[in-house]
């Protein structure tokens, strides 16, 4: 059995379908009451919306990202819907990222690797928090080597609070996040030297880099030309397509939009009357999501083209 | 309805029953095959062991800590057992810590707060990873203010990799972990000024401090005399009771032992024959766990007394 490098598969899918990562951070409150009430439970409505969204946006999504927090918040039925959402995305042949941001030591890290790379919650790629040290990445890196699974490590997040630790200057020079970046680069070199990847392939260990500050985007894109990025901060989070365009150069990346897609129906002028009358259907809100995905993909591809000319 | 400060309740329970935190990082492989096979599923065996352990160790446990990774690793049935384990500990009137080490931004952090402070997975106290910035703590701190819930923030973990980020020296002076400590202390002062806690009460925001290095333990215990500690690194992780004794001074703390209790049956001389014959019962392995909890509590209380004399 040949091992598929899921990060390269993701990069390839983004070349075919565009760089948009549709984020399924699906809170039941993101659905209008008239749609919610058609389902037996809020989690049932979420599953129906997720499936309809994946169907509708497939032609404009490089991948999907499922944020597990929203499913944990719905308790046990929520985690069933989490599993069923992953299953549905996989059944459509699309790469899926589980945004879990786990990070723990030794046997606990192994348990998390088992949890998310096997069994009910098996996914292609996960996000990880490196705070407790680089040894905490090991069980996941092993799964990358053996089975092609992918990892995005938090490098430069899109929230204002990233100045508290990530951007702190070190006495020895550089920032805290530079240490993380060096480790991600070191892992890429290890994959190359072990011939697990070829030069030009996406390294199984990518980085999360938010598109919220132009100079950071420019620096990190130049520093790590061979690393594939997961890019939050576009759309509802206030990030700019222009900065995403910078981050999409070199090895490229995938740009997440969650509420920008999920809540597109709230701003869709075509739905004003129905929205005000409380008469929306799942099909209509999904159609708004489709249009938002199409427009986002266009905007991101234009920003990427503009940057590559600059 | 008066709000109970769960961290003070935990501190109080540790004064009554001793400082031991029994860690239910229960992997099915921690049970002998002859016990496992008596249950319909590995997760069913884990639940039975957890319940028997809680019953058996209640007189020597200040609290219980449930490491969610092991339950996630068992998929959906595992998370059902996770919930049922929390329910059982609560039904026994014991404080429970959910070791989840989550950390995320804005609405995602809110979703995690909802997931672990309400509904199926409701717990008394959780662990949090502060890497993405101190704003990520806000939704949890709000729950502490409103409903008395508690938080342990990672300060100085017990693994060797904590040198990679936590112990890095900053250009502006101090270590990365000192920034986290200052934030934990600042939150305590806010709770005091808002009269949510009284001087001498445990602050709802405690800290995770491993008992793996004497000088760090001494420094952090002196720097944050009013902060209650969750102390990993004792027992199976190779930490020393003596260092735990240092950390138990001032506001005190609770010392976790997971495999030291869960796997006590493997080293129990009273079980040698039955172990070799493959004839162990759940009652016998639980009895070993009880003896280990009793011995650990004795050792920790002696270490604490020795330190307070020094």
**DSSP-derived secondary structure letter, A168:** P
Sort out which chain B residues have CB atoms less than 8 A from A169's CB and list them. Answer: 170-172
Closest CB from B79, B114, B171 relative to A73: B114
Q: What is the mean pLDDT of chain A?
A: 96
Mean of the pLDDT values across residues B4-33? 98
Residue B218 pLDDT > 90: yes
Question: How far B133 CA lies from chain A's nearest CA (Å)?
Answer: 4
pLDDT number for residue A239: 57
- Contact state of B70 with A108 under an 8 Å Cβ cutoff: yes
On the question of pLDDT at A2 being above 90, the answer is no
For residue A76, give how far its alpha carbon lies from the nearest alpha carbon of chain B (Å).
7
Q: How far apart are alpha carbons B242 and B309 in whole angstroms?
A: 13
Q: How many CB pairs under 8 A join A and B?
A: 195
What pLDDT score was predicted for residue B308? 86
Among A2-6, A27-31, B144-148, name the one with the lowest average pLDDT.
A2-6
Is the pLDDT at A112 greater than 80, yes or no? yes
pLDDT tens per residue across span B242-255: 999 999 999 999 99
A147 pLDDT above the threshold of 80: yes
> Of B90, B92, B101, B167, which is the active-site residue?
B101
Nearest-CB residue to A161 (from B74, B120, B135): B135
B101 is catalytic: yes
Q: Is the pTM of this model over 0.90?
A: yes
Q: What pLDDT was estimated at residue B17?
A: 98
Is the separation of the CB atoms in B184 and B130 below 8 Å? no
B117-170, pLDDT tens digit by residue?
999 999 999 999 999 999 999 999 999 999 999 999 999 999 999 999 999 999
pLDDT tier for residue A240 given thresholds of 50, 70 and 90: confident
Nearest CA among B212, B199, B309 for reference residue B256? B212
HEC assignment per residue over chain B:
CCCCCHHHHHHHHHHHHCCEEEECCCCHHHCCHHHHCCCCCHHHHHHHHHHHHHHHHHHHCCEEEEEHHHHHCCHHHHHHHHHHHHHHHHHCCCCEEEEEEECCCHHHHHHHHHHHHCHHHCCCEEEECCCCCHHHHHHHHHHHHHHCCEEEEEEECCCHHHHCCCCCEECCCCEHHHHHHHHHHHHHHHHHHCCCCCCCCCCCEEEEECCCCHHHHHHHHHHCCCCCEEECCEHHHCECHHHHHHHCCCCCEEEEECHHHHCHHHCCHHHHHHHHHCCCCHHHHHHHHHHHHHHHHHHHHHHHHHHHHC
From chain A, the residues in CB contact with B171 under 8 A are 168-171
Q: Which of A70, A119, A164 sits opposite B133 (nearest CB)?
A: A164
What local confidence, expressed as pLDDT, does residue A308 receive? 86
Mean pLDDT of the A181-207 span: 97
**Digit-coded pLDDT (tens) for A66-85:** 999 999 999 999 999 999 99
- In angstroms, the CA B284 to CA A121 distance is 34
CA angle at residue A212 from A208 to A214, to 5 degrees? 105
pLDDT at A1: 53
Give strand ranges (E) for A195-287. 205-209, 229-231, 253-257
Q: Give A63 to chain B, closest Cα distance, Å.
A: 20
Cα radius of gyration rounded to whole Å, chain A: 19
Instruction: Identify any residues that bridge with B102 across adjacent strands, giving them in sequence order.
Output: B128
The nearest CA of chain A is from the CA of B305 a distance in Å of 30
Nearest-angstrom CA–CA distance, B67 and B69:
6
Active-site pick, A80, A90, A101, A274: A101
Q: Do B102 and A104 touch (CB under 8 A)?
A: no
Q: Which two tokens stand for residue B89?
A: 């500990």
- Residues in chain A closer than 8 A to B134 (CB atoms): 161, 164
């Amino acid at each position: 059995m040949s091992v598929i490098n899921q990060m390269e598969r993701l990069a390839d899918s983004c070349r075919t379908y565009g760089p948009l990562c549709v984020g399924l951070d699906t809170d039941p409150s993101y659905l209008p009451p008239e749609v919610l009430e058609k389902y037996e439970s809020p989690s049932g409505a979420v599953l129906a919306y997720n499936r309809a969204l994946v169907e509708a946006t497939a032609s404009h999504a490089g991948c999907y990202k499922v944020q597990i927090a929203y499913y944990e918040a719905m308790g046990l039925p929520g985690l069933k819907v989490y599993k069923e959402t992953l299953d549905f995305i996989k059944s459509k042949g699309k790469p899926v990222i589980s945004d879990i941001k786990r990070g723990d030591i030794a046997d606990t890290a192994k348990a998390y690797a088992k949890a998310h790379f096997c069994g009910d919650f098996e996914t292609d790629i996960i996000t990880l928090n490196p705070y407790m040290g680089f040894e905490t990445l090991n069980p996941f890196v092993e799964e990358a080597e053996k089975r092609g699974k992918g990892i995005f490590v938090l490098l430069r997040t899109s929230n204002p609070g990233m100045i508290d630790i990530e951007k702190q200057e070190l006495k020895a020079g550089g920032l805290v996040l530079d240490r993380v970046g060096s480790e991600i680069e070191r892992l890429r070199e290890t994959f190359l030297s072990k011939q697990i990847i070829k030069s030009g392939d996406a390294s199984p260990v990518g980085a999360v880099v938010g598109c919220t500050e132009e100079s950071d985007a420019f620096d990190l894109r130049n520093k790590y030309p061979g690393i594939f990025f997961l890019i939050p901060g576009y759309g509802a989070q206030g990030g700019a397509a222009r900065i995403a365009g910078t981050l999409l150069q070199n090895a490229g990346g995938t740009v997440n939009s969650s509420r920008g897609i999920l809540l597109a129906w709230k701003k869709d002028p075509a739905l004003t009357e129905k929205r005000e009358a409380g008469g929306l259907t799942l099909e209509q809100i999904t159609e708004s999501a489709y249009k938002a995905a199409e427009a986002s993909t266009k905007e991101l591809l234009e920003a990427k083209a503009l940057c590559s000319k600059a």
